[in-house]
Amino acid sequence: MTGEQFVQHCRAEADAMQQIYTDPDSETAVSEIMRKCEQAGASRTDLAALVRAVIEESWYTMLCALDGTASLDGEQQTYQLHDEDGKLLNPCGELEDAAYRLFMEEE
């Protein structure tokens, strides 16, 4: 697996999370909060946009932190991710580049 493929899997997981959280029939904690906000007058469209933004920014920050380009709890360092065959997934900012493309540029 490459760093690009790893980030693509993260993007797919983020999309699945958003789908589950914004499904009106879902029984997740996030879905329940969305229902309560709708009952209080919030727009489902606005809530879905909020959920999407939170998911995307969280994944992007975590991927950048793993690559050493963002901090985790105020500490910034580079981590090395290896697949089960021992191949390094994040040489030279590969995760950050892919994460920016897939989480920050895409609509």
pLDDT digits (tens, 9 = 90+) for 53-82: 999 999 999 999 999 999 999 999 989 999
Yes or no: say if 5 and 90 are a contact pair by the CB < 8 Å rule.
Answer: no
Q: What residue numbers bound the domain in which 71 lies?
A: 3-105
Predicted local confidence at residue 106, as pLDDT: 64
Structural domains in the chain (count) = 1
**Burial track 50-85 (b if 16+ CB lie within 10 A, e otherwise):** ebbeebbeebbbebbbbbbbeeeeeeeeeeebeeee
Q: With 0-12 CB in 10 A as exposed, 13-18 as middle and 19+ as buried, what is 35?
A: middle
Predicted local confidence at residue 63, as pLDDT: 96
